[in-house]
Structures are given as C-alpha cells and as structure tokens.
Amino acid sequence: MMAVALLRTLRPHQWVKNLFVLAPLIFSKNLLSPEHLGVGLLALLLFCFASGVVYLINDLVDVERDRAHPVKRNRPIASGVLPVTTARAAAAVLGPGVLLGGYALSPALSLVLAGYITLNLFYSVVLKHLPYVDVLSIAAGFLLRVLGGAYALQVPASTWLLVCTGLLASYLALGKRAHELSVLGDDAGKARAVLKRYRLTHLKVAMLAVSVATAAAYSLYTLTPETQAFFGTQYLAATAPFPLYGLFRFYQLVTHPHRQASPTDEILRDAPFLANLALYSAAVIVIIYVLPG
C-alpha cells in the first residue's frame, strides 16, 4: 500500500514528457544501436525519477496547504497514506541516487540532472509566479531533457533540435495558460496566482507567433544541406505537415473552453493528435533509417 502511495506521489502519468530525452537518440541515427538504445533508455529512466523527486519534495513543502485544498488533500502525503517521514527518506535516497546514476553514464548528464531538479524546485518557489518567465522555465526543462539525452549518448545536441524543442515547449506552456484562463474565467487567479497577470488575447497571439516560428524552424531544419547530407536523403522535408497539424490540433483543444482537462493531458487521449504523432514517428524512422540504406 505504501509503495503504491509513493509511486502515485512520483506522478508516473507525467513521465511521458521525458520522452524528449530520446530525441538525440533518434536524430543522431543511433536508434538501431543496442548499446545506444540501452543508454538512452537509462537516461530516460533517470529523468523520470528526477521529475518524481521534484513532485515528492513539492508535496512535502506544500503538505499543509494541500490538506486545506478540496482536491489536493487526497494526495498520498496530505492524506496521511504516505507518512511524511517515509516521503522524506524516499527523497533523501532517490535524489542522490539519480545524480549518482547520471554520473555513472556521464558526468555531464549528472550536472544536467542536478540543473533540472534545481530549476524545477526554483520554479515551484519563485518562477511560477512570474508571467512568461514561468513559460520560459518550462521550456528550459525540456531543453535540459534533450541535452541530458545527448550527453548520456555522447552525441552533439543539434542546434536545430534545441531550437525546435524550445519553441515547441514554449507553445505547449502558453497553451496550458490560455486554456486555464478560458476554463476558469474570473476564478483563474484563485487557482493559479500568476494567471491574474495574463490576458487571454495576448496568450493566443503569442501562441500563433510561436507556432509559426516552430513550424518554420522545423521546415528549415529539414531543408538545410547539412541535414540532408547527414541523413543521406532529402525526404525528411516531407514530414513537415505532421508537426504543422499537431500544432493546429493543439490550438483547437486549447481554444475550446468546454474541455476541462489540461490540454497537455488532453492530447494524450485525442485520437487525431495521437494518429498524427504515430504517422510522424513512423515517417521519420523510415526516412532516416530505411530509405538511405
């Protein structure tokens, strides 16, 4: 029972975000290498535990406020299912364990993991209260995931990959804030204080601008001579419509306030979005790993 409560506190349903760790594995043409695949999966696992440590510490810090919240009081620590002493012991073991595991793969990875944990804790205390800085902080977390994967695999992190990741993560974070304002309306500031300092029209304009920049960056990446020479094919440009549709579909989900779920959770249950993602993934793998051969 206590093990289940600890796992719930680590928020495994949020770990899907850590799949960005595997981006360098795919785009460095090492996906079919058993050694590189193993290292990439280990790095992914470390980031999953690192994000879990952050959730664990946050719940320990906010335990009294959570107990006064009608929903959060059901969290394992706030409800007493997971004792505070046990949660502290788990954090004391998992935190250093993650860093030691990262060091075993690559000292640079250990530094990235430490930076990731520090950034997220600082976000929880300070950065989440600053408009647009909170969005950039979320984007920085995704960039650290990509850098962590690259350092673990000892492959260079493509500038294009980092640019596209940063823009996409910013777009998703802006969409989440826009959705919260749409759904909560005048009560938005009660749920998240920083929402008092956002305007829905501004967020929608920012989303459109960032989506255009994201689509343009990815298209330019696929069309550059360096990219085509590295992959040995010109066909990667044919995948550009998939990210474009994904951006459009996410905007649709965000701008429908009747949808109560977070848009970043909604896309994981949205059939059109998932079908598009599956087709994009298949196209990328075929173009990079099959056609050149």
What Å distances lie between residue 269 and 152, 181, 273, 277, CA to CA?
31, 21, 8, 12
Report whether 203 contacts 181 (CB < 8 A): yes
Residues 6+ apart with CB under 8 A from 24: 40, 146, 149, 150, 153, 155, 157, 158, 161
Distance CA 195, CA 260 (A): 17
Residues 6+ apart with CB under 8 A from 171: 207, 210, 211, 214, 247, 250
Tokens of 123: 């976000």
What Å distances lie between residue 153 and 25, 204, 214, 289, CA to CA?
7, 37, 26, 18
Percent of the chain with pLDDT over 90: 67
Distance CA 67, CA 281 (A): 42
What confidence score (pLDDT) does residue 5 get? 86
Residue with tokens 């290498």: 33
Tokens of 163: 């640019």
Quote the Cα angle for 112-134-155, to 5°: 25
Residue spans of beta strands (DSSP E) within 111-186? none
Report whether 216 contacts 270 (CB < 8 A): no
What Å distances lie between residue 228 and 27, 220, 222, 231, CA to CA?
12, 11, 7, 5
pLDDT in tens, the chain (293 residues): 778 888 888 888 889 999 999 999 999 999 999 999 999 999 999 999 999 999 998 888 878 877 876 667 888 888 888 888 988 999 999 999 999 999 999 999 999 999 999 999 999 889 988 999 999 999 999 999 999 999 999 999 899 999 999 999 999 999 999 988 888 776 767 667 888 889 999 999 999 999 999 999 999 999 999 999 999 999 999 999 999 999 999 999 888 756 666 777 788 889 999 999 999 999 999 999 998 86
Single-letter amino acid, residue 145: R
What confidence score (pLDDT) does residue 258 get? 61
